[in-house]
Amino acid sequence: MKKQTIAPKRWWFIMPIVFITYSLAYLDRANFSFASAAGINDDLGITKGMSSLLGALFFLGYFFFQIPGAIYAERRSVKKLIFVCLILWGGCASLTGVVSNIPMLAAIRFVLGVVEAAVMPAMLIYISNWFTKSERSRANTFLILGNPVTVLWMSVVSGYLIESFGWREMFIFEGIPAVVWAIAWWFLVQDKPAQARWMSDAEKAALQAELQKEQENIKAVRNYGEAFRNRNVILLCLQYFAWSIGVYGFVLWLPSILRNGTQMGMVEAGWLSAVPYLAATIAMVVVSWASDKTQNRKLFVWPLLLIGALAFLGSYLVGSTNFWMSYTLLVIAGAAMYAPYGPFFAIIPEMLPRNVAGGAMALINSMGALGSFIGSWIVGYLNGATGSPSASYIFMGSALLVSVWLTLIVKPAQNKAPPLQGAKPA
């Protein structure tokens, strides 16, 4: 008999909020790629090497403040934390449109990273409070879909805004929605199911019982120090570092890569930049469903990253002489890199108890931020120094191959406590 889903309405209440919030966060970090392709460097006197560093500075701020944000979210309130973050990152994003010099731009990019650092781990903690193990990969995917879906529509909208107004106005207009959404967030969100007025007492009790039952089968971990020394956590930190090199080298510099050596306008570059994220959106939904169905997380991570690596290396081999073949391979690489996010972030809550899982996810995500910093900086530098994306394809493809190997050597968690002496095996 098929197990009945507890309070199916959770998906309709929680997921739109989660999706919109992360979508707005992603909008205000990724639109820098369009300003880079549209003339911010010429207007502010930014060299190609400095441009890659400015694009990457966001991730440096993002790296340092992941864990403090996760601890606050885990021990206090996701609702209060994200409310403040929404207002601050929307303000920083709009302020980017009025910068007049490089130091001001550098400071805003770094502060934007600091403010957004708490978003990902806090939202993963929020999801783990509301969804069970059998649902978590799909729930995580709806969160992270805010990434490719945002870049999908942002690529088109930003292209039109820049064409019609300019890069300054693009930043100003695209920062406002986060501030407006902060008000809606405050009135719509509750930290825990027990606070929800739209769930019955029976639904709350059933959900709490299911979440508690999951915790009983996970080996106790006393504190964050013990969790951070866990072999699998260390391997997943390194894996996500390497994976993020490929992802953010791709995200931040795709419009520039497409315009390199062509007479393509910003609107055309925007439409072409959107296609990989459409493919990624479809792939993420399919992969997360299959992962929850089989409860096999690793199987839906490493093969896809391998496909992404091979697609990047294929783009290098094709070269700039065949634009459409190279572009097709970039679409495949983008979809393959994004597809495993849901299963990947379902691994930690199934491996560590709730008292430390949020901090471990923050540590892993902070290492991803460091990889994002390295990836976006070096890819931007290689593109500028060589005048071609070929070297960056090798760099991103190699990083993904390392992440494949690290995923393969993560051992399945032995979480279940041994049966009591004299007890019959189940």
Alpha carbon 9 to its chain's center: 25
pLDDT for the residue numbered 336: 94
Residue 273 in contact with residue 151, Cβ under 8 Å?
Answer: yes
DSSP string, 133-177: TTTHHHHHHHHHTHHHHHHHHHHHHHHHHHHHT-HHHHHHHHHHH
CA dihedral (374, 379, 380, 382) in degrees, to 10, reads 120
CA distance 23 to 243: 20
CA distance 403 to 358: 22
DSSP state at residue 420: P
- Name, in order, each residue with C-beta under 8 angstroms of 197's C-beta and a sequence gap of 6 or more: none
CA distance 94 to 111: 13
- Name, in order, each residue with C-beta under 8 angstroms of 238's C-beta and a sequence gap of 6 or more: 367, 406
pTM of this structure: 0.77
Task: Extract the tokens encoding 165.
Answer: 């107004």
- The CA-atom distances, in angstroms, between 341 and each of 2, 291, 319, 403 are 27, 11, 29, 13
pLDDT for the residue numbered 158: 84
Instruction: Tell me the one-letter amino acid at 93.
Output: A
Closest to 341 in 3D by CA, of 141, 120, 142, 139: 141
pLDDT for the residue numbered 419: 41
DSSP string, 196-253: -TTS-HHHHHHHHHHHHHHHHTS----SHHHHHT-HHHHHHHHHHHHHHHHHHHHHHH
Task: Extract the tokens encoding 124.
Answer: 């993963």
Alpha carbon 104 to its chain's center: 26
Alpha carbon 295 to its chain's center: 22
3-state SS of the chain: helix, strand, coil percent to 5?
A: 80, 0, 20
pLDDT for the residue numbered 241: 95
- Per-residue pLDDT tens listing for the chain (426 residues): 345 578 889 999 999 999 999 888 878 777 877 787 777 878 888 877 787 777 778 778 888 888 888 888 888 899 999 999 999 999 999 999 998 888 998 999 899 988 988 888 899 889 988 998 888 888 888 888 887 788 778 777 888 888 888 889 999 999 999 999 999 999 999 999 989 889 999 999 999 898 888 877 777 777 788 888 889 999 999 999 999 998 877 766 676 666 665 566 667 777 787 788 889 889 999 999 998 888 888 889 999 999 999 998 888 888 767 778 888 888 899 899 999 998 998 888 788 887 788 888 889 988 998 888 888 788 878 877 777 778 888 998 999 999 999 999 988 655 444 443 444 433
> Residue 331, Cβ neighbours under 10 Å: how many?
17
CA distance 158 to 164: 10
Q: What is the pLDDT of residues 313-348, one digit of tens each?
A: 888 888 767 778 888 888 899 899 999 998 998 888
Residue 239 in contact with residue 366, Cβ under 8 Å?
Answer: no
Dihedrals φ, ψ of 200, to 5°? -75, 165
Q: What is the pLDDT of residues 212-235, one digit of tens each?
A: 888 777 777 777 888 888 899 999
Residue 92 in contact with residue 108, Cβ under 8 Å?
Answer: yes
Closest to 376 in 3D by CA, of 121, 46, 30, 23: 30
pLDDT for the residue numbered 377: 82
